Amino acid sequence: MPDTAQVEVDGPLSRKWVVAVAREGATVRLSEAADKRLRAAREHVDALAAGTVPTYGVSTGFGALATRHIPPRSRAALQRSLIRSHAAGAGPAVEREVVRALMLLRLRTLATGHTGVRPETAHALAALLNAGIVPVVPEFGSLGCSGDLAPLAAIGLALLGEGEVLDAQGVRRPAAEALRANGIEAVVLAEKEGLALTNGTDGMLGMLVLALADLHRLLDVADLTAAMSVEALLGTDRVFAADLQALRPHPGQARSAERIRAALAGSEIVASHRSPDCNRVQDAYSLRCAPQVHGAARDTVAYAETVADRELASAIDNPVVLADGRLESNGNFHGAPVAYVLDFLAVPIADVASMAERRTDRMLDTARSHGLPAFLAADPGVDSGHMIAQYTQAGVVSELKRLAVPASVDSIPSSAMQEDHVSMGWSAARKLRRAVDGLTTVLAIEYLTAARALDLRAPLRPGPVTAAAVTLLRTVVPGPGPDRHLAPEIAAAEELIRSGALNEVLARSFAESGSGR
């Protein structure tokens, strides 16, 4: 998507547009309808601020301090103090795309009119996004309840012209300086606005949406690398037949089986051992059951998408302004719905990676590789081939199993026991990002290994789809030969996967063959 794309913020956002703004540089604008909602809601907040009845977030303190009435002369200080005190994060700065997603999703909730912020405050947040200014958001500080408080407060701090940001060129500088350079006026917060800027699940939701986009790409790659390994190990394609898969009608399983079957179509290697003399009855589970595991992962992603889409249509704040002007407290800021699926996704990631590592190991073992040289080495003994690449896979898979332990089952009470149950959804999101990176590495090593094994099956040729994948890899990594420095080759294969280049080659190859959509 070009950098000039613009997203109108008005109502539910699609996952596609979140990725466009967060990752691809799209700009935003608030619709006229959103402006109208903001003005109407603000009138209700102003009326409550002028009244004598204490109202949480308008004329009281926050959290366990909600019993303290705040006089009008101190309310601007109250909102400013909220942002400053809540911007209490620690650790390394989170990634630019995560912060942009966080900003966009908070803007989307502001635009619903349920938070009660002034239009100029929402427009200032949009201006930050469009200027490419990214507040520095430390990794630790959110418990995933009462919203992603510390991360969102870091965004609010930048709106005040305080703290540090990265500008559009990635240079770290004071927020006030970056705002001035882009003609953006620092915000002076009015009643309710500090709370509205911080009380949302936007960080964990943004990371969920980004992970879902990555997993669509990675699961397609996993089907391909599985097919390459089946081919290299002289496995059968008959187990992937549509009528066999239909006996267990999970949609993800059917899709993965179709893609593996299509990737193996036209393979001379597969055809070479279809004769009646083949004495192999069944392939190992890591080959035969790939559609069942990959398909279950696809179905898990599909469920997570339903949760993400519901959240992208939600207005998360506390208290909220309702259509009749009431300002009501609620518990919608609790991150449990998002936290659970963030944790859930880490489980199939670990399992898909574990199965890929088992296939890689089979290609390196002469007892199970059906004629391939030990460790795919050019001169086994002198050369070690891909022996230690599999060690790297094993180390990453072990880490992925640890990352599959759920964060959302933990809860540490906070705010003097007022906030006595929290979701830990931000933590679940952070570990999911690491899991996605780990799966990328594991699949890259299977891709490297299977491509080398297919080259060693010459003169028999692989199928058109798997051959296209090998050809792409050979543009950055040489074919079989004496031992070389392997780490750069793993990194090069990772980049082909991470950039989407491998998926583009797959899409073209499947289109030409008319299958494996």
The one-character DSSP state at 373 is P
Arithmetic mean of pLDDT, 333-344 = 95
Domains in the chain and their CATH numbers? 6-200 (1.10.275.10), 220-285+349-513 (1.20.200.10)
| 6-9 vs 27-30, strand pairing mode | parallel
Task: Give residue 435's pLDDT band: very low, low, confident or very high (50, 70, 90).
Answer: very high
* 365-389 per-position pLDDT tens digit: 999 999 999 999 999 999 999 999 9
Please list the residues that pair with 118 across neighbouring strands: none
Quick one: CA dihedral 59, 64, 67, 68, positive or negative?
A: negative
DSSP string, 147-188: SSHHHHHHHHHHHTT-SEEE-TT--EEEHHHHHHHTT-PPP-
* CA-based R_g, the chain, Å: 27
Other Cβ atoms less than 10 A from the Cβ of 226: the count is 31
More confident call, 493 vs 76:
493
pLDDT for the residue numbered 63 = 67
Lowest mean pLDDT segment, chosen from 317-326, 386-395, 396-405? 317-326
CA nearest 396: which of 444, 327, 451?
444
**C-alpha separations of 286 from 38, 168, 229 in Å:** 55, 46, 10
pLDDT for the residue numbered 8 = 94
Arithmetic mean of pLDDT, 103-117 = 96
Is residue 56 among the annotated active site residues? yes
More confident call, 399 vs 11:
399
More confident call, 65 vs 272:
272
Instruction: Give the active site residue among 56, 340, 391, 447.
Output: 56
CA distance 386 to 246: 37
For residues 147 and 421, is the Cβ–Cβ distance under 8 A?
A: no
* 165-181 per-position pLDDT tens digit: 999 999 999 999 999 99
For residues 9 and 31, is the Cβ–Cβ distance under 8 A?
A: yes
As given in the structure block, the two tokens for residue 440 are: 């990328």
Burial of 170 (0-12, 13-18, 19+ CB in 10 A): exposed
CA nearest 127: which of 165, 163, 171, 179?
179
Percentage, residues of the chain above pLDDT 90 = 81
Task: Give residue 137's pLDDT band: very low, low, confident or very high (50, 70, 90).
Answer: very high
Mean pLDDT score across all residues of the chain: 93
CA distance 456 to 372: 7
